Amino acid sequence: MARTGPVATDTSTVALGLAQIRVGSSSTYIASPGSALSSSDSIGSLASTKFTGNTDWYKLEGGFPLIEEYTTPIREGAMLECAFREITPKNLALAHGTDISTGTYTVHSGEVVLGGRTAPDYVRMEALYTYPNGTNTMTIIFPRAQVSANVEIDLQAEDAAAVPITFESKNASSDVSGGDAIWDDKPLGHIIFA
């Protein structure tokens, strides 16, 4: 009997597992279109990673009864949500919107100031996902992002805490101070497959 339904045409494209999140200086690497950060820039163990490309659409309708005639995007955004497991001064500073590439952090010493928050610093975020075949990769690059989070450390008796944060991609084109012309046709960044 012949198989029916959605049969995989290329199993090397099936995604399973989490991406590695790397964070660095936006201003230092703003002119780098490809992956510029290394595994030493990783925020460590994660509980989840989720990319979302948001688009708001305008729909033109005409006639009676109204019938849709045209659709066009009116707003676009990109974000990556993740939850980190390694509760360090560096990661908590990042969750509070600090550019962690400018500070000196150690694993178990440091201070994260509470109160008086201002606009989050701009950071570069790269999410490196390696497919289960160990060869192919997908890299999501936000050249100029801000971290927004309501910092929550939910300590449990029998599970590791996971602190959720969101990287929101911001305009990185030459239209803005701190941007670069290489991002003019992809102002929120891009996804590179290799």
pLDDT reported for residue 146: 98
Taking residues 26-44, what's their average pLDDT?
Answer: 97
pLDDT reported for residue 3: 82
How far from 194 is each of 13, 34, 83, 128, CA to CA, in Å?
11, 11, 25, 11
How far from 75 is each of 52, 53, 142, 179, CA to CA, in Å?
14, 11, 17, 20
Q: State pLDDT tens for residues 71-107.
A: 999 999 999 999 999 999 999 999 999 999 887 888 8
pLDDT at 1 over 80: no
pLDDT reported for residue 99: 92
pLDDT reported for residue 48: 97
64 band by pLDDT with thresholds 50, 70 and 90: very high
Alpha carbon distance 125, 70 (integer Å): 35
Mean pLDDT, the chain, integer = 95
Taking residues 161-167, what's their average pLDDT?
Answer: 97
Asked whether the beta carbons of 49 and 21 are under 8 A apart, the reply is: yes
pLDDT at 184 over 80: yes
pLDDT reported for residue 161: 96
Asked whether the beta carbons of 191 and 138 are under 8 A apart, the reply is: yes
pLDDT reported for residue 110: 84
Asked whether the beta carbons of 26 and 122 are under 8 A apart, the reply is: yes
pLDDT reported for residue 106: 84
pLDDT reported for residue 2: 82
Q: Which residues of 84-95 are buried (b: 16+ CB within 10 A; e: fewer)?
A: bebebbbbbbbb
pTM of the model: 0.93
Nearest to 49 by CA among 15, 87, 20, 77: 20
Q: Which residues of 123-161 are buried (b: 16+ CB within 10 A; e: fewer)?
A: bbbbbbbbbeeeeeebbbbbbbbbbebeeeeeeeeeeee
46 band by pLDDT with thresholds 50, 70 and 90: very high
